Amino acid sequence: MYSSLILLPFLSVIALNLPFRNLMKKLAFVVCLLVLLVQISLIVCPSICIWSNDLDIFGSFLQFNFAVDNLSRVMLFCIGIVLLAALFVQRYIIDDEERIFNFVNVLLLILIGMDGIVMVRDIFSLYIFLEITAVGSFILIGFNKDVDAFEAAFKYIILSVVATVLMLSSIALLLIVSGSTSFSSISDALKTSPDSLLISSAVAIFLCACFIKAGLIPFHGWLADTYSAAPAAVSVLLAGIVTKTVGAYTLIRIVNSVFGFESSINSLLLVIGIISIVIGALAALGQRDFKRMLAYSSISQVGYIILGLGCGTTLGLAGAVFHLFNHSIFKTLLFVNSAAVELETGTTDMNGLSGLSKKMPFTAMTSVVASLSAAGIPPLSGFWSKLIIIMALWMSGFYVYAVIAILASVLTLAYFLSLQRMVFFGRLKEDSANIKEAGLGLMFPALILALIIVAVGLFFPFIINTFILPAGNILGG
Amino acid sequence: MIDKLLLLLLIILPLIAAVKILIIFRKFPKLTEAAALSATLLNLLLAIILFKSEIRFFAPWLGWGLDFSLRLYHFSAFIILAIAGFSFLIALYSVVFMRGKPCLNQFYVYFLLTLAFANGVVLSDNLLILLFFWEGLLLTLFGMIAIGNKNAFQVATKAFIIVGITDLCMMIGIALTGYLSGTMAISQINLPLGGLASLAFILLIIGAISKSGSMPFHSWIPDAAMDAPLPFMALIPAAFEKLLGIYFLTRICLDMFRLNVNSWLSILLMIVGAVTIILAVMMALIQKNYKRLLSYHAISQVGYMILGIGTAVPAGIVGGLFHMINNALYKSCLFLTGGAVEKQTGTTNLEELGGIGSKMPVTFICFIITALSISGVPPFNGFFSKELVYDGALQRGNIFYIIAVLGSFFTAASFLKLGHAAFLGKLQEKNNNVREVSFSMLLPMIVIALLCIVFGVFNYLPLNKLIGPILGESRLGGHNFSGFPVNMKLVVVSVVVLIAALLNHIFAVRVKGSAIKASDHIHHAPVLSAIYDRAEKRFFDPYDIGMNITRKISKVAFLCDKAIDWIYNVLIVKLTFAFTNEIKRLHNGSYSMYLVWSLLGLFLVAAFLVH
């Protein structure tokens, strides 16, 4: 039935572009909304699926090797939520029917790409869905057709192309070794074949491709420019889920299912993770642009995910997945709020902003929730995932990494607090008298996301036992 | 059952009156006075009714031996009665004295709260309950001083800090005692001294003697004498604190720890007592202010009590306890005469007084009686208690006896000077139309002065009925301390000393020409004058010394704190931002640069994995 998650958006795109385009333009938003709601409800409550096997007949036409486990479910849920938020933001900011229609089309393509990434069990199919997502992202970054956005899109294309080339070469090398592209056969082949230069370089190249996609230091050059120059909705999309799916998730999946946790890979992940955490946080501290700061914070937070993965234990993996989920939620919320601020004040330069909490109390409040969650303040969700990661590090004996990770979360708190203080607290500027709270279209997704953060934090025992630990377990086993 | 309720009423009644005054009678000074008077009178009646009874009240409270238990027996009933008597008389006195003064309402609230807490301290049979009431007294002490004149707040703070610190010691002592003995019930504690128990003993003693105003915890009392309302001085430092402090000291030494003659702690207590006697009386001698002079005597006299109890021999203990009640009598009366003088002349500065004895004859007579008592002239009460203390001190060592007798000499000398300077001599112009104070101020003075005579002439009354049972037959060992002192040598020495004091006074007045300068030859004696100068400048005030040390420590701590702050607020931030700026500089937006980084990263990763 999960193949319908690919088929449904695919058919929707086709349907939208058939005749009656004028009618379809009006329907585009609703169609996309429905598709996303179907995806979310399918994850939250699989039993509502009324068509169960029917569509799988169509699925069988597609020559893809789909499988869904707990990790995939977590990812599918995140994808649904973040895309929904992005859709709302775009719809709120841009009232033009034509452009919404275009946006929805690309968004659905990206949805196909990401759903594919999290469900395939075949390295070449993975590559194809990665490319679908990447191309969709290029288009969306340049969606507003301004110079900065084009420049950012260009940087993204260049580095993405490098990643693509690397990935393709790696796949070719792996094909030489195993003769097949499915995860299981490559994994078996790697286990049986002797350690060779070929395999090592294939692994290195593939990992680097993923690092570029995830924007880890020192492969992160494209990330800050792209996040800050992209239109608000696209920033939400990229920061919230796209880089996490194409980078972090792919790393988790590949390392876990294909390469396996070898000590050299683990230590590589730990080093890259800790460098990303520290440098990302330090860089974020120096930023004076709302979205740029969030971008560097993204690097730092993905570092935590990779750090959890690098433990190589079930608990670490669970922590990584949980943090991935949390990061998607709070970073999306922060970008939604940045969109609100940008829309109301016309700027994201923090030096030009002050005291907005008086005019935008709701935005300020949800930002506090998201920031505190990101900084790992109990009882918000971010605290638990960081705690799990640090516990996993400690139990695996990586004491130094654990201590650095804790100290770095002080930096996280520092830059988020300075963001809060500069943007939302302090004295209101005189010329900002006619600033008002963003509309319902932005407040609704923000509210939902903030509620998820608080609820996951408060009902943590239930969440961890029901979703997160199984995700770690299945992968570990 | 009914007597248990009455027992509780001793604490509850003043509390209710205080709350009533605080809330309902705020705006009605007459009602306030009436409430205070009636509450203290009722309390006195209660104390009389309960005087001969033995009552225990027990209510389980926190568990772990922390229960609300009260115990009335001969000792506590004695103290309760004394407290009740003083509070009624002084309330009567205050009605006139405090009339029209600001903070009248607050004064009576603190007064009654003090009464309630003091009753609580005396009755409580659990160390924790005792501590609760004890700390309550600290609060009312602060409040009562603070409502005085404009300097009073500083003095109140000083008193609060000194007493607060010693209370803290006592708190630790209580915890230690409870830990060592396994119970908090005072009547069940019976610890041998030695080791930790000695430490607990010392800590508890610190609390007790600080409450009674002994050195080195005395320095707020002379300040408070100048700045706090006068009835406060007559009530708290002169009467209540002596009663409570010495009561608790006696409980510690006799019941809880059984101090004996062989213990070094006994010597320690005697040294504290002797030092307090001599130093405080030396300071009293040179004072030129009625109230301040009295306040130093209030300190000095504690020395006799501590010395007496510290001797750990029956004569000394009986003498100490007898001196406690005697001192409470004559010292509060002396303060009351001081208040009467202040009320009528508007000053207590001896240089502005003189010759008012003829204008205020009753006050003068009360003063004479109490001054003779405090100087230890037979047959007034002070003579008998001092003789007993001398007796005890002589049994333990000549030096303690000599110091005690020397203290007596200076006491007599300073009261000769005080009485001469204030009541005799030439009348000042502005005091021409001074009149005697009103009856309700005279009555307390007269009653107390009469009691001084009664306790002297009929000293078997207090000694046999009140103090004897406290030690018990076994400890008294068949001695009977009532009647005229047996040891005639001591009496002779005392009388000689008194005569010497009188001669000294006559001589000094003749040489210097005026009564107020009667102590100048001692004040300006070679070595002493330098010491006096420094003492007057508060060089020896333990509070100021402690405050200086504290200030220096806090300066050092502040510097350390600043250094730590600098590390956190400057160094780390600077380092962080140095990194941050470097990182920002590297991100110059050039995609070729980013590409180079990525490729370098790739090579590094590949090199790492291939290796």
For the stretch B162-187, pLDDT in tens is: 888 888 888 888 888 888 887 777 77
CA distance A291 to chain B (A): 15
d(CA B388, CA B308): 8
Nearest CB to B601; choose among A155, A211, A282: A211
Looking at the partner chain, which of A162, A201, A282 has a beta carbon nearest the beta carbon of B606? A201
Range of A355-364, A375-384, A447-456, B63-72 with top mean pLDDT: A447-456
**Residue A251 counted as domain residue:** no
Predicted pLDDT at B465? 74
Q: From the list A197, A212, A224, which residue is nearest B587 (CB)?
A: A224
A365-381 average pLDDT score: 88
- State how beta strands B66-72 and B55-63 pair: antiparallel
On whether residue A98 sits in a domain, the answer given is: no
Cα-to-chain-centroid distance, residue B247: 12
List the single range of A172-186, A401-415, B249-263 with lowest mean pLDDT.
B249-263
Give the closest of B583, B595, B606 to A283, CB-based.
B583
What whole-number distance in Å separates Cα of residue A443 and Cα of residue A92?
10
Helix pair angle (B264-285, B196-212), 10° resolution: 20
**Is B57 in the same domain as B114?**
yes
Q: Do B379 and B404 lie in a common domain?
A: yes
Of A328, A342, A331, A320, give the one whose Cα is nearest residue A388.
Answer: A320
Query: What are the φ/ψ torsions at residue B435 (nearest 5 degrees)?
Result: -120, 170
Asked whether the beta carbons of B451 and B329 are under 8 A apart, the reply is yes
Residues 6+ apart with CB under 8 A from B425: B354, B355, B514, B515
- Element (DSSP H or E) covering residue A93: helix A70-93
Q: What stretch of H or E contains B72? A: strand B66-72
Task: Name the DSSP class of B185.
Answer: B
How far off is chain A from B597, nearest CA to CA, in Å?
Answer: 6
In whole angstroms, give the CA distance from residue B278 to residue B170.
26
Based on its alpha-carbon atoms, the radius of gyration of chain A, rounded to whole angstroms, reads 21
Residue A176 distance to chain B (closest CA, Å): 18
> Amino acid letter at A176?
I
> Residue type at A152?
A
Residues 6+ apart with CB under 8 A from B57: B4, B7, B8, B68, B69, B70, B71
Q: Are residues B244 and B360 in the same domain?
A: no
Scanning A213-252 for CB atoms below 8 A from B yields 218-222, 224-225
Helices A263-285, B591-610: inter-axial angle, 10-degree rounding: 150
Contacts of B603 in chain A (CB under 8 A): none
Domain boundaries, position B587: 544-610
Of A222, A225, A283, which has the smallest distance from its Cβ to B584's Cβ? Answer: A283
Place of tokens 């009293």: B284
Structure confidence at residue B310 (pLDDT): 83
Distance CA A390, CA A385 (A): 9
Contact B348, B338 (CB under 8 A): yes
Average pLDDT over residues B267-294: 83
Taking only the tens place, the pLDDT of each residue in B515-556 is: 667 666 677 767 777 777 777 776 677 777 888 888 899 889
Beta carbons of B600 and A166 less than 8 Å apart: no
The residue from B525, B540, B555 where one domain ends is B540
Contact B576 A279 (CB under 8 A): no
Query: CA of A200 to nearest chain B CA: how many angstroms apart?
Result: 5
Q: Report yes or no on A201 lying in a domain.
A: no
Q: How far is B574 from chain A (nearest CA, A)?
A: 12
Interface of B with A (CB under 8 A): 576-577, 579-581, 583-584, 587, 589, 591, 593-595, 597-602, 605-606, 608-610
Q: What is d(CA B105, CA B33) in angstroms, rounded to the nearest whole number?
A: 9
Report the length, in residues, of chain A: 477
Distance from the Cα of B582 to chain A's closest Cα (Å) equals 9
Percentage above 70 pLDDT, chain A? 94
Q: How far is B576 from chain A (nearest CA, A)?
A: 7
B602/A205 touch (CB, cutoff 8 Å), yes or no:
yes
Q: How far is B601 from chain A (nearest CA, A)?
A: 6
Question: What's the pLDDT score for residue A294?
Answer: 92
pLDDT of A274 reads: 94
- Lowest pLDDT segment from A49-58, A350-359, B25-34, B145-154: A49-58
Interchain CB contacts (distance < 8 Å): A and B: 83
A64 touches chain B (CB under 8 A): no
Tokens of B293: 């002079």
Among the partner residues A203, A220, A286, nearest to B580 by beta-carbon distance: A286
Q: Are residues B333 and B399 in the same domain?
A: yes
**CA of A284: which chain B residue's CA is closest?**
B580
Position B501, amino acid: A
Q: What is the pLDDT of residues B567-599, one digit of tens each?
A: 888 888 888 888 888 888 888 777 788 888 888
Range of the domain at A402: 269-477
C-alpha span between B500 and B514 (Å, rounded): 19
Q: Are B459 and B600 members of one domain?
A: no
Statement: residue A476 has pLDDT above 50:
no
Cβ atoms of A232 and A335 within 8 Å: the answer is yes
Report the range of poorest mean pLDDT among A105-114, A184-193, A291-300. A184-193
Q: How far apart are CA B435 and CA B418, in angstroms?
A: 20
**Hey, how many other C-beta atoms are within 10 angstroms of the C-beta on B597?**
18
DSSP A46: G
**Contacting residues of B for A220, CB less than 8 Å apart:** 594
Q: Which two tokens stand for residue A50?
A: 């009324």
Q: Which of A90, A134, A143, A75 is nearest to A110 (CA)?
A: A134
Which of B540, B570, B601 marks a domain boundary?
B540
**What local confidence, expressed as pLDDT, does residue A477 receive?**
38
Find out whether A16 and A28 touch, Cβ atoms under 8 Å.
yes
Are B584 and A162 a contacting pair at CB < 8 A?
no
Reply yes or no on whether the pLDDT at B85 is more than 80. yes
Are B360 and B275 spatial neighbours (Cβ–Cβ below 8 Å)? Answer: no
C-beta of residue A239 within 8 angstroms of C-beta of residue A299: no
pLDDT digits (tens, 9 = 90+) for A28-45: 888 888 888 888 888 877
Lowest mean pLDDT among A11-15, A200-204, A307-311, B310-314: B310-314
Nearest by CB to A204, from B583, B595, B606: name it: B606
B79-104 b/e (C-beta count within 10 Å ≥ 16 → b): bbbbbbbbbbbbbbbbbbbbeeeebb
Instruction: Give me chain B's average pLDDT, please.
Output: 81
Closest CA to B40 of B254, B172, B235: B235
Q: Under 8 Å CB-to-CB from A401, ≥6 apart: which residues? A: A270, A273, A274, A307, A393
In this prediction, residue A403 has a pLDDT band, given cuts at 50, 70 and 90, of: very high
Give A403→chain B minimum CA distance, Å.
17
Give a yes or no: residue A241 inside a domain.
Answer: no
3-class DSSP string for B154-181 = HHHHHHHHHHHHHHHHHHHHHHHHHHHH
Q: Chain B contacts of A204, Cβ < 8 Å?
A: 602, 605-606, 608-610
* Range with the largest mean pLDDT of A59-68, A266-275, B99-108, B600-609: A266-275
Kind plus residue range of the DSSP H or E element containing B37: helix B29-49
pLDDT at A57 over 60: no
Phi and psi, residue B67, nearest 5°: -120, 160
How many domains in chain B?
Answer: 3
List chain A residues with CB under 8 Å of B573: none
User: Which tokens is B170 given?
Assistant: 């006592």
pLDDT of B70 > 90? The answer is no
Q: Does the residue B265 lie in any domain?
A: no
pLDDT for position B344: 79
The verdict on A413 touching B (C-beta cutoff 8 Å) is: no
Cβ separation B576–A411 shorter than 8 A: yes
Comparing A450 with A436, the larger pLDDT belongs to A450
Mention every residue, 6+ apart, whose C-beta is less than 8 A from residue B314.
Answer: B392, B471, B475, B476, B477, B479, B481
- Angstroms from B343 CA to nearest CA on chain A: 59
Q: Do B291 and B429 fall into the same domain?
A: yes
Distance CA B584, CA B72 (A): 80
ipTM over 0.85: no
Q: How many domains does chain A have?
A: 1
Looking at the structure, tell me whether residues B180 and B311 fall in a common domain. Answer: no
CB contact under 8 A, B594 and A222: yes
B312: left (phi over 0), alpha (psi -120 to 50) or beta: left
Classify the C-alpha dihedral B246-B252-B253-B255 as positive or negative. positive
Indicate if B158 and B211 belong to the same structural domain. Answer: yes
| B447 and B562 inside one domain | no
Whether the per-residue pLDDT at B83 is higher than 90: the answer is no
Mean local confidence (pLDDT), B44-49: 83
In the block, which residue shows the tokens 């508890």?
Answer: B204
Cβ pair A356, A345 in contact under 8 A: yes
- Would the CB atoms of A212 and B598 count as touching at under 8 Å? yes
Chain B residues closer than 8 Å to A286 by CB? 577, 580-581, 583-584
Determine the distance in angstroms separating the CA of B568 from the nearest CA of chain A, rounded to an integer. Answer: 12
> Is residue A101 one of the residues assigned to a domain?
no
Residues B28 and B144 in one domain: yes
CB contact under 8 A, A219 and B609: no
pLDDT at B501: 80
Q: Which of residues 144-173 of A touch B (CB under 8 A)?
A: 154-155, 158-159, 162, 166
User: Which strand (E) or helix (H) includes residue B56?
Assistant: strand B55-63
By C-alpha distance, the chain A residue nearest B610 is A200
Q: Residue A242: inside a domain, yes or no? A: no
Place of tokens 């050299």: A264
B549 and B522 within one domain: no
Report if residue B488 sits inside a domain.
yes
Beta bridge partners of A66: A120
Q: Which residues of B touch A211 (CB under 8 A)?
A: 601, 605
pLDDT of residue A446: 92
Measured from the Cβ of residue A158, the count of other Cβ atoms closer than 10 Å reads: 17
Mean pLDDT of B244-258: 82
Whether A475 contacts A252, CB under 8 Å: yes
Considering B230, B258, B286, which residue would you say is the last residue of a domain? B258
Region B215-229: mean pLDDT is 78
In a domain, B437, yes or no: yes
The arithmetic mean of pLDDT across residues B301-326, rounded, is 84
Do the chains contact at A268 and B605, CB–CB below 8 Å? yes
Task: Kindly state whether residue A210 falls inside one of the protein's structural domains.
Answer: no
Give the SS3 label for residue A396.
Answer: coil
> Do the chains contact at B583 and A286, CB–CB below 8 Å?
yes
Residue whose entry in the numeric block shows the structure tokens 């499915």: A182
Residue B311 sits in the same domain as residue B287: yes
Q: How far apart are CA A321 and CA A70, in angstroms?
A: 10
Whole-number pLDDT of residue A85? 92
**Distance in angstroms (rounded) separating the CA atoms of residues B141 and B134:** 11
